[in-house]
């Protein structure tokens, strides 16, 4: 597996990471713990060195799973986790990025992750009630104490990124980005390039849609949050199938799968982009890792660009109440 550096931070990771959320939360019932540990360790064996979790996934259970799975390989891997939510009675209950809360969360995350340092600590969502300078300052303190190595932001807008970066250099921004959701191209990517910040796209396969394995007839588990995502209504899935068909045509030419082409497209955008697809299945993990070996030439990228620009994507990426948490 090739390695990439996240911006100017010198944080080196595998070109494709593993988003661990879905093992515990979000896409239906949590997997059996041993199965989750096996999958994470299989990723390490196949060259993945970048693992993404958060206290709110579960809550807490995903960090515990990641910590246990990676304990034998701790010095070979980079672990990213996140703070920024209030958790009450085992449920997410609004935002909380007060500096004292950040420090409490970091200490609790260190215990769950069975480690003495967090390689990359993200603010999960921008908290409008706390100055971003105070958030960056709290993480700077944790870096000085040796508990955290690098500071990240998730779903932040460019003004927030600049203000945070002025206090404590931001190593990486995490946001949704794929052929199916290209909003970051307008302002975010140019700002990251200017400031030397890495970019970590989550949902690089469109929450599974770009794999070609979801149709308008697919029934999701009742606990799967795609049930409330406007983009995933049956009629929008039918309309959005055109994007999957396009990927399928390219995949045939490249002797690859639609998911691999979608990941290769992201990797081709910038050398400091590191997608973190998630999965619960070994064969999908192997397929995703294979995306790093698919080479898209300039002409391929132009053709893909031209064709994709003619396909209007139907449906919002979040329901209204989740969209309100996006800090731009």
What tens digit of pLDDT does each residue of 278-317 get? 999 999 999 999 999 999 999 999 999 999 999 999 999 9
Residue 38 within any structural domain of the chain: yes
Residue 207 · residue 232 · CB < 8 Å: yes
Q: What is the pLDDT of residue 221?
A: 96
Q: Count how many domains the chain has.
A: 1
Residue 262 within any structural domain of the chain: yes
Q: What is the pLDDT of residue 325?
A: 85
Q: What is the CATH number of the domain that holds 73?
A: 3.20.20.100
pTM value is 0.98
Catalytic-residue membership of 57: yes
Domain range for 104 is: 3-323
Long-range contacts of 144-148 (CB under 8 A, 24+ apart): 146/116, 146/117, 147/106, 147/107, 147/110, 147/116, 147/117, 147/118, 148/106, 148/117, 148/118, 148/121
| Structure tokens, 157 | 């807008």
Residue 7 within any structural domain of the chain: yes
Q: What is the pLDDT of residue 326?
A: 86
Q: Among residues of the chain, what percentage have pLDDT more than 70?
A: 99
Q: Kindly state the helix (H) or strand (E) to which residue 82 belongs, with its residue range.
A: strand 78-83
CA–CA distance, 77 with 58 (Å, rounded to integer) = 22
- Mean pLDDT for 145-170 is 98
Taken in order 214, 220, 223, 226, the sign of the CA dihedral is: positive
Radius of gyration (C-alpha) of the chain in whole angstroms: 19
Q: Is 267 helix (H, G, I), strand (E, B) or coil?
A: helix
Residue 328 within any structural domain of the chain: no
**Confidence bin at 328 (pLDDT 50/70/90):** low
**Confidence bin at 322 (pLDDT 50/70/90):** confident
Residue 205 within any structural domain of the chain: yes
Catalytic residue among 57, 122, 177, 318: 57
């Amino acid at each position: 597996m090739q390695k990439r550096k996240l911006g100017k931070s010198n944080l080196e990771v595998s070109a494709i990471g593993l988003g661990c959320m879905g093992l515990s939360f979000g896409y239906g019932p949590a997997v059996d713990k041993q199965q989750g540990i096996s999958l994470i360790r299989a990723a390490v064996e196949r060259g993945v060195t970048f693992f993404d979790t958060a206290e709110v996934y579960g809550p807490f259970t995903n960090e515990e799973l990641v910590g246990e799975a990676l304990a034998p390989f701790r010095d070979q891997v980079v672990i990213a986790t996140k703070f920024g939510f209030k958790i009450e009675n085992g449920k997410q209950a609004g935002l909380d990025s007060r500096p004292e809360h950040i420090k409490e969360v970091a200490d609790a995350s260190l215990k769950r992750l069975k480690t003495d340092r967090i390689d990359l600590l993200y603010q999960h969502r921008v908290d409008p009630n706390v100055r971003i300078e105070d958030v960056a300052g709290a993480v700077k303190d944790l870096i000085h104490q040796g508990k955290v190595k690098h500071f990240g932001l998730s779903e932040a807008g460019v003004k927030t990124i600049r203000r945070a970066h002025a206090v404590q250099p931001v190593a990486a921004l995490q946001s949704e980005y794929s052929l199916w959701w290209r909003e970051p191209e307008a302002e975010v990517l140019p700002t990251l390039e200017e400031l030397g910040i890495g970019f970590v796209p989550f949902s690089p396969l469109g929450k599974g849609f770009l794999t070609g394995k979801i149709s308008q007839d697919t029934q999701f588990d009742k606990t799967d949050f795609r049930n409330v995502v406007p983009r995933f209504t049956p009629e929008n899935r039918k309309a959005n199938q055109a994007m999957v068909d396009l990927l399928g045509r390219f995949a045939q030419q490249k002797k690859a799968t639609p998911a691999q082409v979608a990941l290769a497209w992201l990797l081709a955008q910038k050398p400091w982009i590191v997608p973190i697809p998630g999965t619960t299945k070994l064969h999908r993990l192997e397929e995703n890792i294979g995306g790093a070996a698919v080479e898209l030439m300039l002409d391929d990228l132009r053709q893909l660009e031209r064709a994709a620009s003619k396909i209007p994507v139907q449906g919002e990426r979040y329901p209204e109440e989740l969209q309100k948490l996006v800090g731009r």
